[in-house]
Structure 1
Amino acid sequence: MEYEDLSRPFWFIVTGQYLAINYNGSDFEIRRGHHGRGSIFHLSDDEEQIIHKNAYIGFLSAHPDYEDDVFYISKDTKYLNKDAKWTDNIQEAIEVQIEPVGEDYGDAEVSVPQEISNPIIDENNPISANGIDLYYPDKWFSLYAITGDSLWLGDASEFESKLCFAGNPYNFGMGFQLFKHEGKTRIFCRNDKYLTVMMDGEVAQYLDEACKQHTRFTRCSRCMRCWSVGFSSEPEECFSLVPKGLPSMFALYDGLCYYRFNALKGSYAELERVESIDRASIFQFVG
């Protein structure tokens, strides 16, 4: 233990549920509430063991479909279930994710989020990874791309009017509010802009004359993939959050194409259009 770095504190999220995970000194406890009101844990340097107050208390076991993004809490070949009991049956285990707290933070220095008495407005609405209705009034969310490599990297931000993902934890990125509009989702950002479908001006100037007459919704093999997700000061397009994966996960669809996480450098990524949902990346929001 004395050699562990302990520089990456985190909270557990129970995927798709409004629950907080605590540790009482001898075992885990799970109660209804915002996950940020749970205990703060640390991860061992090998990213396998769970640490609480300088003691090893369990293991992170990777989910077979979402390795490095979704986990099970395990101990002595057993798994933690929703009643905070240990079970041999992995099908009964809770699926957990991680929200980083930030480097060099201690329990006393972290602000405690407010509880929400009724986190679900409508059972038909999409939900965040931590079980909050995505259309909850005045609620801000972080965008999390499920890529198997973006837990500690991938904060959403604006660069040259495009939505990009940089080299900090996902919850360090800009906040988003979501609104239902004509059966789709309008996404407002902390920079007082809206997410929209856009084309980089430098790309547009090299299009042939026929493509210059096309719109973002023209099905053209030469130019339809030149569009991406960016920002607009006025509400324009709405998106559809098409369920893909676990209940809080979705593919982003603009009415013509889906979007895939495209890592251009080690700490920089953009979104690119793809026609098939099978090739689309999975996203979720955390509130």
Structure 2
Amino acid sequence: MTQQLVDIGVNLSDKAFDQDRDEVVSRAVEHGVTTMILTGTSLTESQKVLGLARKYSEHCFCTAGIHPHGAKDANTRTFKELKALFSEPEVVAVGETGLDFNRDFSPRPVQEKVFERQLELAIESGLPLFCHERDASERFADIIKNYRDQVNKLVVHCFTADKTALYRYLDLDCHIGITGWICDERRGTHLHPLMKDIPANRLMVETDSPWLLPRSLAKKPKNRRNEPAFLFEVVQMIATHTGLSPEQVARQTRATSLEFFNLTAPHHDRQGQDGR
């Protein structure tokens, strides 16, 4: 494909990529995924993806944050070290942060407190927010409302919820990240009619790899591992349900993503890579 894509959610530090990380990045670029945002989910993982963003500096940036699963382990030192990462030029968003009331790996009040602290850090740093939400859209929205006027930008990544939640987020001027979940005929078809409701300047695409391999892929890898090279499958599914061409979806989501992560102009002296 000639279109260039931005994958806004790649868990490149995951052990699933330990044996062939270089090849995964190369394949992504070969398939038109020329910009990847690597996801930080804890202080340790945020430091790891920062190292990877530096290694693959021509195509990768990263986030830094504490996932709600690990909220119970966060302390004052964690936030201090996290804050230091936000001044690194490769770090383009605060997150992955948010609420997960589905698995509840951390107590809900602790999740909320850690989420609010990261909202404050995002306001201080001026960085956008990369957010996670599962079975918590009302509480998530209530918390966001208190900060929304001060927060730069916010994306609800890997959106899988219903129309009510979507409109709740759009009313708060949030961006929406769509993954291979939309390609799952067992649990993702409810997303199909919602694609027309998301404004082009609010929609972004992601693999959330190594998870959420698109089930619509004609030729699936034997190891069932997802990777950025498969992102176009998500684009095609969105195109099918919006009446747009895949090229239009690719172009629009790329423009929206570059703008969201402030990659459209020289930012922290980013060497002008990829026209950024």
- Compute the TM-score of the two structures, normalised by the length of structure 1: 0.21
Bigger proportion of residues as helix: 2
Whichever of the two has the greater Rg, that structure is 1
Larger RCO of the pair (alpha carbons < 8 Å, separation 6+): 2
Bigger proportion of residues as strand: 1
